[in-house]
Structure 1
Amino acid sequence: MIRTKKDLKHYLNLDRQVYGITKRFPPFCGGEHWKFLIALRYEEYHANQKGIYHKILKKVWYMIHRHYGIKMGWDIPINVFGPGLKINHFGLIVVNDNVRVGAFCDIHQGVNIGQQGDLADDVPTIGDNVWIGPGAKLFGRIHIADECAIGANAVVNKDFLERGITIAGIPAKKISDKGNPWIRHLKNN
Protein backbone atom coordinates (compact mmCIF):
# COMPACT_ATOMS: atom_id res chain seq x y z
CA MET A 1 0.00 0.00 0.00
CA ILE A 2 1.36 3.40 -0.97
CA ARG A 3 1.32 5.74 2.03
CA THR A 4 4.21 8.15 1.42
CA LYS A 5 5.94 9.82 -1.52
CA LYS A 6 8.88 7.49 -0.91
CA ASP A 7 6.54 4.49 -1.28
CA LEU A 8 5.13 5.99 -4.49
CA LYS A 9 8.61 6.44 -5.97
CA HIS A 10 9.56 2.89 -4.94
CA TYR A 11 6.45 1.34 -6.54
CA LEU A 12 6.88 3.31 -9.76
CA ASN A 13 10.59 2.39 -9.98
CA LEU A 14 9.84 -1.32 -9.60
CA ASP A 15 6.90 -1.16 -12.02
CA ARG A 16 9.25 0.49 -14.53
CA GLN A 17 11.95 -2.15 -13.93
CA VAL A 18 9.72 -5.09 -14.87
CA TYR A 19 8.99 -3.50 -18.25
CA GLY A 20 12.61 -2.51 -18.81
CA ILE A 21 11.63 1.17 -19.04
CA THR A 22 14.49 3.55 -18.48
CA LYS A 23 12.69 6.87 -18.99
CA ARG A 24 10.74 8.47 -16.18
CA PHE A 25 7.80 9.57 -18.32
CA PRO A 26 5.85 7.54 -20.89
CA PRO A 27 5.93 8.48 -24.58
CA PHE A 28 3.22 10.80 -25.89
CA CYS A 29 1.97 8.07 -28.25
CA GLY A 30 1.88 4.50 -27.00
CA GLY A 31 3.08 3.26 -23.63
CA GLU A 32 -0.43 2.54 -22.36
CA HIS A 33 0.79 -0.12 -19.92
CA TRP A 34 3.06 2.42 -18.28
CA LYS A 35 0.44 5.19 -18.35
CA PHE A 36 -2.07 2.86 -16.67
CA LEU A 37 0.40 1.93 -13.92
CA ILE A 38 1.33 5.58 -13.28
CA ALA A 39 -2.35 6.48 -12.90
CA LEU A 40 -3.00 3.44 -10.69
CA ARG A 41 -0.10 4.25 -8.37
CA TYR A 42 -0.88 7.99 -8.12
CA GLU A 43 -4.53 7.24 -7.39
CA GLU A 44 -3.41 4.80 -4.67
CA TYR A 45 -1.14 7.44 -3.15
CA HIS A 46 -3.79 10.17 -3.07
CA ALA A 47 -6.50 7.76 -1.82
CA ASN A 48 -4.33 6.95 1.21
CA GLN A 49 -3.80 10.62 2.13
CA LYS A 50 -6.04 13.06 4.00
CA GLY A 51 -7.21 16.48 2.99
CA ILE A 52 -9.15 18.17 0.21
CA TYR A 53 -6.06 18.52 -2.01
CA HIS A 54 -5.56 14.73 -2.06
CA LYS A 55 -9.28 14.11 -2.44
CA ILE A 56 -9.36 16.24 -5.61
CA LEU A 57 -6.20 14.67 -7.05
CA LYS A 58 -7.53 11.19 -6.26
CA LYS A 59 -10.57 11.98 -8.46
CA VAL A 60 -8.32 13.27 -11.27
CA TRP A 61 -6.09 10.18 -11.16
CA TYR A 62 -9.18 7.95 -10.88
CA MET A 63 -10.46 9.32 -14.20
CA ILE A 64 -7.09 8.72 -15.89
CA HIS A 65 -6.79 5.24 -14.34
CA ARG A 66 -10.35 4.43 -15.42
CA HIS A 67 -9.74 5.75 -18.96
CA TYR A 68 -6.74 3.49 -19.55
CA GLY A 69 -8.43 0.60 -17.76
CA ILE A 70 -11.42 0.75 -20.10
CA LYS A 71 -9.18 1.24 -23.13
CA MET A 72 -7.23 -1.93 -22.34
CA GLY A 73 -9.98 -4.01 -20.72
CA TRP A 74 -8.46 -4.01 -17.23
CA ASP A 75 -10.53 -3.66 -14.07
CA ILE A 76 -7.70 -3.44 -11.55
CA PRO A 77 -8.52 -1.51 -8.36
CA ILE A 78 -6.11 0.47 -6.19
CA ASN A 79 -4.34 -0.95 -3.12
CA VAL A 80 -4.39 -4.54 -4.42
CA PHE A 81 -1.04 -5.20 -6.15
CA GLY A 82 2.40 -4.76 -4.62
CA PRO A 83 5.28 -3.11 -6.49
CA GLY A 84 6.58 -4.54 -9.75
CA LEU A 85 3.24 -5.36 -11.37
CA LYS A 86 3.62 -6.62 -14.93
CA ILE A 87 0.55 -6.84 -17.15
CA ASN A 88 1.56 -8.65 -20.32
CA HIS A 89 -1.25 -7.99 -22.80
CA PHE A 90 -4.31 -5.95 -23.56
CA GLY A 91 -7.47 -7.89 -22.79
CA LEU A 92 -9.89 -8.58 -20.01
CA ILE A 93 -8.49 -8.70 -16.47
CA VAL A 94 -10.90 -8.40 -13.53
CA VAL A 95 -9.71 -8.18 -9.91
CA ASN A 96 -11.83 -7.76 -6.77
CA ASP A 97 -11.10 -4.72 -4.56
CA ASN A 98 -10.35 -6.87 -1.50
CA VAL A 99 -7.75 -9.15 -3.10
CA ARG A 100 -4.14 -8.74 -1.90
CA VAL A 101 -1.23 -9.56 -4.21
CA GLY A 102 2.48 -9.32 -3.32
CA ALA A 103 5.38 -7.81 -5.22
CA PHE A 104 6.32 -8.72 -8.79
CA CYS A 105 3.07 -10.27 -9.96
CA ASP A 106 3.17 -11.20 -13.65
CA ILE A 107 -0.38 -11.38 -14.99
CA HIS A 108 -1.81 -12.23 -18.42
CA GLN A 109 -5.09 -11.52 -20.21
CA GLY A 110 -8.36 -13.21 -19.35
CA VAL A 111 -7.55 -13.49 -15.63
CA ASN A 112 -10.28 -13.17 -13.03
CA ILE A 113 -9.36 -12.91 -9.34
CA GLY A 114 -12.50 -12.61 -7.30
CA GLN A 115 -14.90 -13.27 -4.52
CA GLN A 116 -16.67 -16.58 -4.06
CA GLY A 117 -19.38 -15.81 -1.50
CA ASP A 118 -21.06 -12.81 0.03
CA LEU A 119 -18.32 -11.95 2.51
CA ALA A 120 -15.87 -9.18 1.56
CA ASP A 121 -12.89 -11.19 2.81
CA ASP A 122 -13.83 -14.26 0.76
CA VAL A 123 -11.07 -13.42 -1.76
CA PRO A 124 -7.57 -14.69 -2.62
CA THR A 125 -4.30 -13.62 -1.03
CA ILE A 126 -1.39 -14.10 -3.44
CA GLY A 127 2.31 -14.02 -2.53
CA ASP A 128 5.35 -12.43 -4.18
CA ASN A 129 6.73 -13.38 -7.61
CA VAL A 130 3.61 -15.18 -8.78
CA TRP A 131 3.09 -15.78 -12.51
CA ILE A 132 -0.59 -15.98 -13.52
CA GLY A 133 -1.19 -17.47 -16.96
CA PRO A 134 -3.84 -16.45 -19.51
CA GLY A 135 -7.42 -17.23 -18.58
CA ALA A 136 -6.71 -18.29 -14.99
CA LYS A 137 -9.55 -17.94 -12.50
CA LEU A 138 -8.79 -17.58 -8.77
CA PHE A 139 -11.63 -17.22 -6.29
CA GLY A 140 -12.57 -17.77 -2.68
CA ARG A 141 -10.62 -17.32 0.55
CA ILE A 142 -7.44 -18.98 -0.69
CA HIS A 143 -3.72 -18.39 -0.27
CA ILE A 144 -1.13 -18.82 -3.01
CA ALA A 145 2.49 -19.05 -1.81
CA ASP A 146 5.44 -17.04 -3.15
CA GLU A 147 7.11 -17.92 -6.47
CA CYS A 148 4.25 -20.05 -7.80
CA ALA A 149 3.21 -20.31 -11.43
CA ILE A 150 -0.48 -20.67 -12.25
CA GLY A 151 -1.09 -22.32 -15.59
CA ALA A 152 -3.30 -21.05 -18.39
CA ASN A 153 -7.04 -21.52 -17.82
CA ALA A 154 -6.48 -22.94 -14.31
CA VAL A 155 -9.39 -22.70 -11.89
CA VAL A 156 -7.92 -22.18 -8.44
CA ASN A 157 -10.34 -22.49 -5.53
CA LYS A 158 -8.14 -23.97 -2.77
CA ASP A 159 -4.93 -23.06 -0.94
CA PHE A 160 -1.48 -23.78 -2.38
CA LEU A 161 0.92 -23.03 0.47
CA GLU A 162 3.99 -24.75 -0.95
CA ARG A 163 6.46 -22.20 -2.28
CA GLY A 164 7.77 -22.39 -5.86
CA ILE A 165 5.36 -24.83 -7.47
CA THR A 166 3.38 -24.87 -10.68
CA ILE A 167 -0.36 -25.39 -10.47
CA ALA A 168 -2.75 -25.98 -13.33
CA GLY A 169 -5.99 -27.67 -14.30
CA ILE A 170 -9.69 -27.54 -13.53
CA PRO A 171 -9.77 -27.67 -10.55
CA ALA A 172 -6.14 -26.67 -10.08
CA LYS A 173 -3.61 -29.09 -8.64
CA LYS A 174 0.16 -29.15 -8.26
CA ILE A 175 1.80 -30.36 -11.46
CA SER A 176 5.45 -29.44 -10.94
CA ASP A 177 8.03 -28.27 -8.40
CA LYS A 178 9.49 -25.74 -10.85
CA GLY A 179 7.28 -22.74 -10.05
CA ASN A 180 7.83 -19.30 -11.52
CA PRO A 181 11.07 -19.28 -13.59
CA TRP A 182 11.01 -15.47 -13.86
CA ILE A 183 11.74 -14.54 -10.26
CA ARG A 184 12.37 -10.85 -9.81
CA HIS A 185 14.20 -9.20 -6.94
CA LEU A 186 14.41 -5.67 -5.65
CA LYS A 187 17.03 -3.48 -7.26
CA ASN A 188 18.21 -0.32 -5.56
CA ASN A 189 17.81 2.70 -7.80
Structure 2
Amino acid sequence: MPKYKNLIIFGATGMTGQACIGQALKLGHEVTAFTRDPSKLGDEIKDKVTVKQGDVLDRAAVEDAMKGHEAVISVLGTGREMGPTTVMSEGIKNILSAMEKRGIKRISVQCACFQFWDRAKVPPIYSHVNEDHHRVLDCLTASKAEWIALLPPALKNIPGTGKYIIKHEAGIDGPCSIHDIAHFHVTGINDDVNLYHRIGIVNIT
Protein backbone atom coordinates (compact mmCIF):
# COMPACT_ATOMS: atom_id res chain seq x y z
CA MET A 1 0.00 0.00 0.00
CA PRO A 2 1.56 3.35 -1.00
CA LYS A 3 2.19 5.85 1.77
CA TYR A 4 0.54 8.59 -0.28
CA LYS A 5 -2.45 7.14 -2.09
CA ASN A 6 -4.26 10.22 -3.37
CA LEU A 7 -2.07 12.13 -5.84
CA ILE A 8 -2.57 15.29 -7.88
CA ILE A 9 -0.42 15.67 -10.98
CA PHE A 10 0.46 19.01 -12.57
CA GLY A 11 1.67 18.97 -16.16
CA ALA A 12 -0.65 16.00 -16.56
CA THR A 13 -1.14 16.15 -20.33
CA GLY A 14 2.53 16.16 -21.30
CA MET A 15 4.37 12.95 -22.19
CA THR A 16 5.80 12.49 -18.74
CA GLY A 17 2.62 13.63 -17.04
CA GLN A 18 0.53 11.02 -18.81
CA ALA A 19 3.18 8.42 -18.04
CA CYS A 20 2.94 9.42 -14.36
CA ILE A 21 -0.82 8.96 -14.48
CA GLY A 22 -0.41 5.53 -16.03
CA GLN A 23 2.12 4.41 -13.43
CA ALA A 24 0.07 5.81 -10.56
CA LEU A 25 -3.06 4.01 -11.72
CA LYS A 26 -1.12 0.78 -12.19
CA LEU A 27 0.17 1.03 -8.62
CA GLY A 28 -3.26 1.60 -7.11
CA HIS A 29 -3.30 5.35 -6.57
CA GLU A 30 -6.25 7.67 -6.83
CA VAL A 31 -5.24 10.33 -9.34
CA THR A 32 -6.30 13.87 -10.12
CA ALA A 33 -5.02 15.41 -13.35
CA PHE A 34 -4.73 19.21 -13.32
CA THR A 35 -4.73 20.59 -16.85
CA ARG A 36 -5.77 23.55 -18.96
CA ASP A 37 -7.01 21.23 -21.71
CA PRO A 38 -8.58 17.91 -20.64
CA SER A 39 -9.01 16.89 -24.29
CA LYS A 40 -5.26 16.20 -24.40
CA LEU A 41 -5.55 13.34 -21.92
CA GLY A 42 -5.21 9.95 -23.59
CA ASP A 43 -8.33 7.83 -24.02
CA GLU A 44 -6.79 5.03 -21.98
CA ILE A 45 -6.55 7.20 -18.86
CA LYS A 46 -9.03 10.07 -19.05
CA ASP A 47 -11.96 8.06 -17.69
CA LYS A 48 -9.88 6.67 -14.82
CA VAL A 49 -8.86 9.96 -13.21
CA THR A 50 -10.47 12.99 -11.67
CA VAL A 51 -9.89 15.98 -13.94
CA LYS A 52 -9.47 19.50 -12.61
CA GLN A 53 -9.38 22.05 -15.40
CA GLY A 54 -7.38 25.18 -14.72
CA ASP A 55 -4.19 27.14 -15.25
CA VAL A 56 -1.28 26.59 -12.88
CA LEU A 57 -0.73 30.36 -12.95
CA ASP A 58 -4.17 30.82 -11.38
CA ARG A 59 -3.46 30.55 -7.65
CA ALA A 60 -7.12 30.19 -6.67
CA ALA A 61 -7.67 27.36 -9.16
CA VAL A 62 -4.60 25.52 -7.90
CA GLU A 63 -5.65 25.90 -4.28
CA ASP A 64 -9.16 24.64 -5.05
CA ALA A 65 -7.84 21.62 -6.96
CA MET A 66 -5.45 20.66 -4.15
CA LYS A 67 -8.21 19.98 -1.63
CA GLY A 68 -8.32 16.38 -0.39
CA HIS A 69 -4.96 15.25 -1.77
CA GLU A 70 -2.04 13.70 0.09
CA ALA A 71 0.88 14.42 -2.24
CA VAL A 72 1.79 16.25 -5.44
CA ILE A 73 3.72 15.40 -8.58
CA SER A 74 4.75 18.34 -10.76
CA VAL A 75 6.13 17.70 -14.22
CA LEU A 76 5.42 21.16 -15.56
CA GLY A 77 7.21 22.03 -18.77
CA THR A 78 7.19 24.41 -21.72
CA GLY A 79 6.86 21.84 -24.50
CA ARG A 80 8.88 22.97 -27.48
CA GLU A 81 8.95 26.62 -26.37
CA MET A 82 12.52 27.56 -25.47
CA GLY A 83 12.19 31.32 -25.05
CA PRO A 84 12.25 33.33 -21.83
CA THR A 85 9.78 31.89 -19.34
CA THR A 86 8.68 31.97 -15.72
CA VAL A 87 5.80 29.52 -16.17
CA MET A 88 7.40 26.69 -14.23
CA SER A 89 8.67 28.81 -11.33
CA GLU A 90 5.46 30.84 -11.01
CA GLY A 91 3.50 27.62 -11.24
CA ILE A 92 5.52 25.96 -8.49
CA LYS A 93 5.06 29.03 -6.28
CA ASN A 94 1.29 28.59 -6.59
CA ILE A 95 1.53 24.85 -5.97
CA LEU A 96 3.68 25.30 -2.86
CA SER A 97 1.41 28.02 -1.52
CA ALA A 98 -1.65 25.81 -2.03
CA MET A 99 0.11 22.86 -0.39
CA GLU A 100 0.83 24.90 2.72
CA LYS A 101 -2.76 26.12 2.93
CA ARG A 102 -4.13 22.60 2.44
CA GLY A 103 -1.68 20.94 4.83
CA ILE A 104 0.01 18.87 2.11
CA LYS A 105 3.70 18.20 2.72
CA ARG A 106 5.11 15.90 0.03
CA ILE A 107 5.95 16.86 -3.58
CA SER A 108 8.03 15.31 -6.35
CA VAL A 109 9.13 17.83 -9.00
CA GLN A 110 10.84 17.37 -12.33
CA CYS A 111 13.47 19.72 -13.71
CA ALA A 112 16.35 18.79 -16.04
CA CYS A 113 19.83 17.35 -15.75
CA PHE A 114 21.30 20.75 -16.72
CA GLN A 115 20.84 21.70 -13.06
CA PHE A 116 23.94 19.60 -12.40
CA TRP A 117 25.95 21.50 -15.02
CA ASP A 118 27.97 24.67 -14.88
CA ARG A 119 25.56 27.31 -16.23
CA ALA A 120 28.16 28.44 -18.79
CA LYS A 121 28.21 24.96 -20.35
CA VAL A 122 24.46 24.60 -20.87
CA PRO A 123 23.63 24.73 -24.62
CA PRO A 124 22.24 28.22 -25.37
CA ILE A 125 18.98 26.84 -26.74
CA TYR A 126 18.14 25.52 -23.25
CA SER A 127 19.39 28.50 -21.25
CA HIS A 128 16.01 30.16 -20.63
CA VAL A 129 14.33 26.95 -19.50
CA ASN A 130 17.37 26.11 -17.38
CA GLU A 131 17.19 29.47 -15.61
CA ASP A 132 13.54 28.90 -14.77
CA HIS A 133 14.39 25.44 -13.44
CA HIS A 134 16.93 27.12 -11.15
CA ARG A 135 14.14 29.36 -9.90
CA VAL A 136 11.97 26.26 -9.33
CA LEU A 137 14.66 24.67 -7.17
CA ASP A 138 15.14 27.92 -5.28
CA CYS A 139 11.41 27.93 -4.51
CA LEU A 140 11.57 24.34 -3.27
CA THR A 141 14.54 24.90 -0.98
CA ALA A 142 12.93 28.03 0.50
CA SER A 143 9.64 26.25 1.14
CA LYS A 144 8.32 24.20 4.04
CA ALA A 145 7.51 21.30 1.71
CA GLU A 146 9.03 17.83 1.84
CA TRP A 147 10.41 17.97 -1.68
CA ILE A 148 12.14 15.63 -4.11
CA ALA A 149 13.61 16.95 -7.36
CA LEU A 150 14.15 14.50 -10.21
CA LEU A 151 16.57 15.74 -12.86
CA PRO A 152 16.54 13.26 -15.76
CA PRO A 153 18.71 13.38 -18.88
CA ALA A 154 17.28 12.88 -22.39
CA LEU A 155 13.64 11.78 -22.20
CA LYS A 156 12.68 8.88 -24.42
CA ASN A 157 9.10 7.95 -25.27
CA ILE A 158 9.88 4.25 -25.28
CA PRO A 159 8.49 1.41 -23.15
CA GLY A 160 9.73 1.33 -19.60
CA THR A 161 12.05 -1.50 -18.59
CA GLY A 162 11.79 -1.15 -14.81
CA LYS A 163 15.58 -1.15 -14.86
CA TYR A 164 17.00 2.19 -13.86
CA ILE A 165 19.38 3.66 -11.35
CA ILE A 166 19.19 6.89 -9.41
CA LYS A 167 21.90 8.96 -7.78
CA HIS A 168 21.47 11.70 -5.20
CA GLU A 169 23.09 15.04 -6.04
CA ALA A 170 24.62 13.85 -9.30
CA GLY A 171 23.59 13.60 -12.92
CA ILE A 172 23.93 10.38 -14.88
CA ASP A 173 24.62 10.34 -18.61
CA GLY A 174 22.33 8.43 -20.92
CA PRO A 175 18.68 8.25 -21.96
CA CYS A 176 15.74 7.29 -19.78
CA SER A 177 12.25 6.11 -20.64
CA ILE A 178 9.51 8.52 -19.57
CA HIS A 179 7.72 5.50 -18.08
CA ASP A 180 10.64 4.70 -15.80
CA ILE A 181 10.94 8.36 -14.87
CA ALA A 182 7.23 8.28 -14.04
CA HIS A 183 7.70 5.11 -12.02
CA PHE A 184 10.27 6.86 -9.86
CA HIS A 185 8.05 9.90 -9.32
CA VAL A 186 5.20 7.67 -8.15
CA THR A 187 7.25 5.31 -6.00
CA GLY A 188 10.13 7.55 -4.93
CA ILE A 189 7.74 10.06 -3.39
CA ASN A 190 6.99 7.48 -0.67
CA ASP A 191 10.62 7.06 0.43
CA ASP A 192 11.97 9.57 2.95
CA VAL A 193 15.54 8.82 1.86
CA ASN A 194 14.87 10.90 -1.27
CA LEU A 195 13.80 14.03 0.59
CA TYR A 196 15.61 17.30 -0.13
CA HIS A 197 17.73 15.79 -2.87
CA ARG A 198 18.29 16.58 -6.53
CA ILE A 199 18.30 13.16 -8.14
CA GLY A 200 19.79 11.88 -11.39
CA ILE A 201 18.25 8.91 -13.16
CA VAL A 202 19.12 6.73 -16.16
CA ASN A 203 18.05 3.41 -17.62
CA ILE A 204 20.33 0.42 -17.18
CA THR A 205 21.24 -0.89 -20.62
Shared fold (TM-score greater than 0.5)?
no
Instruction: State the TM-score, normalizing by the size of structure 2.
Output: 0.32
Task: Determine which structure has more spread, i.e. the larger CA radius of gyration.
Answer: 1
Would you tell me which structure has more helix in proportion to its own residues? 2
Higher relative contact order (CA 8 A, sep 6+): 2
Instruction: State the TM-score, normalizing by the size of structure 1.
Output: 0.34
